[in-house]
Amino acid sequence: MNNKFRSCILALMLLLVWLSGPQEASSANFIQKLDNGQIDWTNRIIEATGSSSYIKMSGNEPQARSIAKCQAIEAARDNLLSILKSLPLDSGKSVGDLLVNDRRRSEALLPYLKKAEAADIWFGSEGKVKVTLSLRFDGELGELLIPDYIKTIEPITQVVSPNGKVTEAYSGILIDCRAIGFKPCMIPRIVNERKEEIFGPAYVSRECVVRDGMVKYVAGTDSRVKELWLGSRPLVLKAFKVLEGMPTIVVLTNADAELIRSEPSNLELFHHCKVVFLLK
C-alpha cells in the first residue's frame, strides 16, 4: 500500500469518526480558561472579569453600588488589556511584543478597550460586584494585531494537477492536532518532518486572516466545520507532532505534507484560510 493511498484511508476514517459524533455547535468551541477571563479561539472573543465591593446598607447604597460597578468595569478593562497582550502570535512572540515601541498601534487599541461590551454584571449578596467584558479580536481590531509581514496577495487560480489532469479539488483542510501538545496562536505554521514549511504567513492573504483568522480552532465535532468553513469535501489529516520547543508549529509526516503539496488547488485553500485545527 503506497503512502498516498494510506493517507487517504486514514483521512476517510478520521472524517467518518468525526462526523458521526453529536453536532451541538456551541459545545465544540475551543475555549482557553484564564485566571481573569477566557479566550474563545473558535469565535476569536476575549472575555475578561473584574470585581469590586461596596458596603450594603450604607447611607447611599445606590451610589455605592454604582461606584463599585465602575471600579469593577475598570478592573475588567485592565484584565482585558492584559489578556490581549498575552495573545500568542507564534511560539516566540505575543501581541504585547508587537505593541512594544509601536505607539500608533498602542494608541489605536485604546478605543476598542473602551467599547468592550459588558457581557455580564453580577451583584452578590455580600456587596460584591463582578463584571465581564467581551471583545472580539477580528475585523478592525484584528488588523491592528496582525503583523505587517502578512501581506495581501492575489488569489491563486491554478487548479490543474502536475500531470495535466483536472482533479476534484478539496473544499478545505482539517488537521487533527489532538494529543500532540499544540498551543493555539494567531499565526500557526505547518511543516513536514524535514522542517520545510507547508503552511504559514506566506501562504495566506491578509484580508482573509483579518476576517477569519489563519485557522479555525475547534474542540470537537461541530456541524459548522462542514456547513460553513470547509465545505463538503475536506482533506482530513492527522498531525504527527509539534516542533520541539515550538508548540504552535504542527509537523505532518512527509507523506501527508506531499499529499497537500501535490494538489495546486490546495494553495487556494491556504490563501482563503480554509483550514481547521481540531484540538480536543
195-212 pLDDT tens trace: 999 999 999 999 999 999
Mean pLDDT value across residues 36-60:
91
- pLDDT at position 19 is 45
Confidence of residue 24 (pLDDT cuts 50, 70, 90): very low
Q: In the chain, how long is the greatest CA-to-CA distance? A: 84
> 154-192 pLDDT, tens per residue?
876 555 555 555 567 899 999 999 999 999 999 999 999
Closest to 73 measured CA to CA, from 89, 95, 51: 51
- pLDDT at position 158 is 54
Check pLDDT > 60 for residue 70.
Answer: yes
Check pLDDT > 90 for residue 57.
Answer: no
DSSP 207-227: HHHHHH-SSEEESS--HHIII
Parallel, antiparallel or unpaired: strands 275-278 and 216-218: parallel
Mean pLDDT value across residues 1-19:
48
Decide if 19 contacts 226 (C-beta within 8 A): yes
> 100-133 pLDDT, tens per residue?
989 999 999 999 999 999 999 999 988 899 999 9
**Sheet architecture: strand order including 31-34:** 31-34, 37-40, 45-53, 128-136, 117-123
What distance in Å separates the CA atoms of residue 60 and residue 46, rounded to the nearest whole number?
A: 34
Check pLDDT > 90 for residue 8.
Answer: no
Express as a percent the part of the chain with pLDDT over 90. Answer: 69
| Rg, the chain, Cα only | 22
Mean pLDDT value across residues 239-250:
96
Strand, helix or coil at 80?
helix
- pLDDT at position 279 is 93
How would you class 197 by CB atoms within 10 Å of its CB: exposed for 0-12, middle for 13-18, buried for 19 or more? middle
Q: Please report, to the nearest 10 degrees, the dihedral formed by the alpha carbons of residues 86, 201, 42, 12 taken in order.
A: -140
Q: What is the mean pLDDT of the chain?
A: 87
Q: Is the pTM of this model over 0.75?
A: yes
Give the type of residue at 142: G
Check pLDDT > 60 for residue 21.
Answer: no
- pLDDT at position 149 is 94
- pLDDT at position 118 is 94
Mean pLDDT value across residues 42-46:
95
